[in-house]
Amino acid sequence: MACLLEAPLRISVLSEVTATSRHYVDRLFDPDPQKVLQGVIDMKNAVIGNNKQKANLIVLGAVPRLLYLLQQGSSSSELRAECAVVLGSLAMGTENNIKSLVDCHIIPALLQGLLCPDLVFIEACLRCLRTVFISPVTPVQLLYTDPTVIPHLMSLLSRSQRTQEYITQIFSHCCKTPEHQTVLFNHGAIQNIAPLLISPSYKVRMQALKCFSVLAYENTQVSMTLVNVLVDEELLSQVFVRMMQRDQPIDMQLTAAKCLTYMCRAGAIRTDDSCIVLKTLPCLVRMCSKERLLEERVEGAETLAYLMEPDVELQRIASVTDHLVAMLADYFKYPSSVSAITDIKRLDHDLKHAHELRQAAFKLYASLGSNDEDIRKKITETENMMDRIVSGLSESSVKVRLAAVRCLHSLSRSVQQLRTSFHDHAVWKPLMKLLQNAPDEVLVMASSTLCNLLLEFSPSKEPILESGVIELLCSLTQSDSPALRVNGIWALMNMAFQADQKVKGEIVRALGTEQLFRLLSDPDSNVLMKTLGLLRNLLSTRPHIDQVMSSHGKQIMQAVTLILEGEHSIEVKEQTLCILANIADGNTAKELIMTNDDILQKIKYYMAHSNVKLQLAATFCISNLIWNEEDGEANAMTGSQERQDKLRELGFVDILHKLTQASDPNLCDRAKTAMQQYLA
């Protein structure tokens, strides 16, 4: 019988809950304003901490009625404030609750409410807006739709500590883009928020500080302004330094360190300034210690990685501060089986977020090792480091995979590591696996690393070649992403360097002449430069030059002509002239230049160019054309004599003679060497 009773019991309980919730909503429609007010107060008490009740009331249509009462001029101030409080409480439920509130247009209604003179009501509206805007499901753009909102919020900052806390919190959560930073900056955010850093309220100080960290991030204009701001006759940077002192709460230390980091990266503070070297950097290293909470260690490591990314001196200082390199190894062992965490909730949270620690450690190692050989050695010698990176490459989290490959890329800049650790751990295998199927951002970093593994002194080059990588790299050159096209062609360029004819043939075959020439007209100059580099490497050693030019000479000469005629940088034209110089070094290939008067005129033009690099490269072409040692063949002298005569007729000897007087010693020597060929 018990089993039969169970279902009806459940239905009756549910209908009872719904009936109770319905009763709360019905009271909002009572004609007596006093009863409506009491109904709202009772509803407020019923929903506190009760997500089920919140969901029921939303489903039963409480939100539109509360918003109606909130916006009615005839409603008392007390009723309007209580409505805002209930709406704020409903917003503290689930993300679905927030979506329902936003769909009911709660944000415009609350923003309108801020025009009311009543401070209690304003604070209730701001508290509710704060709760709605800190949710990840709320579109932050809603704050910027009406251009009068931001200046009005700025004017409300002086009303009370509560308005200061809520408004700065709204700003820090809704400042997501450079456009948002500009809007806030233009409406006086800096001068309005700076005085709040010395507020008696910790919450206000903290929210103001967070506001400055999001305003300064990657923003030179804001950062340059912040440097000169005075707060109570003290420079803002010094206020931030005080906030980083060890006796301050950790959240404050960390956020102040972020502000100074962002100002430094934006160029407003020098990297050798004492507030960075002696205060910010040590503070961030402290955040990496195992005494800190997981999220503090993550934020500390990621901010430190960002601070020193472009500066080798900061990397060296950090690497010897508080045993940082060894300290980061603990990020991979957390939480351990003997973890000191007694709070089950905290342990559960940390187990779910442990991958964030690994991601942060990889990022920081990547930043530490991006320039200095000794630091890279220190990192690779840290316990099981290479194994950890290899494991990181196959983690389920894309962010961890990206950070691991970034770390690998940083270490792959070392010749020594390529020859030792990379070879010993066969890192090319998981790297190749990663390249088969990954998001673009991972692909970019993985293919960049592969470029380094394909350098001629890397022991990994041979096994990678044998694994059929050429097809994969050729497919990257067809990507919509310029960065992937660059890396694909760069890797092929490295592969072709001093390669045998078989490998070069495979590259040309797999890439296809059509794609090669498409890349030679790529709008991205980096792609063009690397394609020219590949072509230059394919056209090295005489037999190879003659072979490639015999099958593709016409198209190559066409491409060269187009580049030399086009609007390209000095570097691109120099590389193109170097390709011509290689062609001129071939036995049969050089005839493609000698029979092309257009190309000869272009070489002549660049020999008299104002840029020395172009003059040198063009002179090199001529030097190779007039050279008279052609494998000891009987007709060698005849061939070179004919070329020399033709070039003399075209006026090249006169130009060479002038260049022997050039002020640049390299150009002068190159011209003299060429002239000696005429005299030989």
323/325 Cα distance (integer angstroms):
6
Rounded to whole angstroms, the maximal C-alpha distance in the chain is 118
pLDDT tens sequence across 658-672: 999 989 999 999 989
Lowest mean pLDDT of 214-228, 353-367, 427-441, name the range.
427-441
Q: What is the 3-state secondary structure (H, E, C) of 151-191?
A: HHHHHHCCCCHHHHHHHHHHHHHHCCCHHHHHHHHHCCHHH
61 is written with which tokens? 């249509």
Determine the pLDDT at residue 275: 97
Q: What is the 3-state secondary structure (H, E, C) of 231-252?
A: ECCEEHHHHHHHHCCCCCCHHH
Quick count: other Cβ atoms within 10 Å of Cβ 618?
28
Q: What is the CA radius of gyration of the chain?
A: 35
pLDDT tens sequence across 388-404: 999 999 999 999 999 99
> 488 or 674, which is more confident?
488
- pLDDT of 341 strictly over 70: no
Q: What is the mean predicted confidence (pLDDT) over 84-103?
A: 93
Determine the pLDDT at residue 352: 84
Q: What is the mean predicted confidence (pLDDT) over 430-440?
A: 90
Q: What is the mean predicted confidence (pLDDT) over 258-278?
A: 97
- pLDDT of 290 strictly over 70: yes
Confidence of residue 345 (pLDDT cuts 50, 70, 90): confident
Contact between 385 and 424 under an 8 Å Cβ cutoff? The reply is no
| pLDDT above 70 coverage of the chain, percent | 94
Which residues make beta-bridge pairs with 230? 235
Q: Is 230 helix (H, G, I), strand (E, B) or coil?
A: strand
pLDDT tens sequence across 142-182: 999 999 999 999 999 999 999 999 999 999 999 999 999 99
How high does pLDDT run on average in the chain? 91
- pLDDT of 307 strictly over 80: yes
Contact between 414 and 373 under an 8 Å Cβ cutoff? The reply is yes
Determine the pLDDT at residue 302: 98
Q: What is the mean predicted confidence (pLDDT) over 613-635?
A: 77
Each residue of 203-234: b (16+ CB within 10 Å) or e?
Answer: ebbbbbbbbbbbbbbebebbbebbeebeeeee
For 136-139, the CB contacts below 8 A with 24+ separation are 136/95, 137/95, 137/98, 137/99, 137/102, 138/98, 138/102, 138/107, 139/102
242/450 Cα distance (integer angstroms):
45
